[in-house]
Structures are given as structure tokens and as C-alpha cells.
Amino acid sequence: MLISFSAINAGDYVFLDTNAALPQEGRRRLSRTATLDGGAVITDGGVTDADRSIDFTAIQVSEDARETLWVMFQNQDLVHLSCPEGVFSGYLQRVKITASGVSIGFMVYEKLT
């Protein structure tokens, strides 16, 4: 699976090749309030892409890509993630660069396509 990150203001971009598909994981916006009779009221706010976090690992990442990704993580607020599921706007929540590859946590703000 080929994915890419692009910095919105700086023009930097990184392409990463991952071996695994993105996991299908979601969360509903639910809240539960206890009632006086011992029951509960559950309010369902539905599902939105903004509730997602996308985590993945890439191996065989070039040194240039590692450096660009690290600079993006330190200096860019909002970035775009392009992957087979679509294009997302969001934040690099976590970046871990090791000798064996790169591990990234991406928090979705919105789905663009």
C-alpha cells in the first residue's frame, strides 16, 4: 500500500510503502447518563471520520524521507494523508523512527475525498 504525507504550507511530501492494509476501526460518539430510576439514557451522535486515528508502520524508508517526515512532525500542524481509503487532513500524533522503519500515528481531522 502506498501512502503519502504532504505539508500544507511548506510543500514537503513523503511517500511510504507499507506492507499491511489500514485497519478498519471506528468509534461511535456515544454518551451515557444515569437516570434517577436506576436506568440510563444513551445519546448516539453517530460516526464521523474525525473520530478515527490511523496507525501504521513502514519499512525500508529512505534517510531523506525519514528526515522530511521528522521535520514535518516538528513543524507542521495540519498535514494531508493520501492512502487507498482517500485523502485525509489531520495531525501527525506520533512518529517513531528506528533502524527498522517508521511508525506513525495519524489523527484524522476530516476526510477530503
Determine the 3-state secondary structure of 50 from DSSP. Answer: helix
Structural domains in the chain (count): 1
Sequence-separated (6 or more) residues with CB below 8 Å from residue 47: 26, 27, 28, 29
Residue 97 maps to which CATH number? 2.40.30
Joined grid coordinates for residue 34? 444515569
Residues 6+ apart with CB under 8 A from 67: none
- Please give the chain's pLDDT, 113 residues, in tens: 556 667 655 566 777 766 555 666 677 889 999 999 999 999 999 988 888 888 888 888 888 888 888 988 888 888 888 887 888 999 999 999 998 888 888 899 999 98
Query: Reduced to 3 states, what is the DSSP secondary structure of residue 68?
Result: helix
The domain of 80 spans 2-111
Q: Beta partners for 103? A: 57, 96
Residue 107 pairs in a beta bridge with 53, 91
- At 20, give phi and psi (nearest 5°): -120, 150
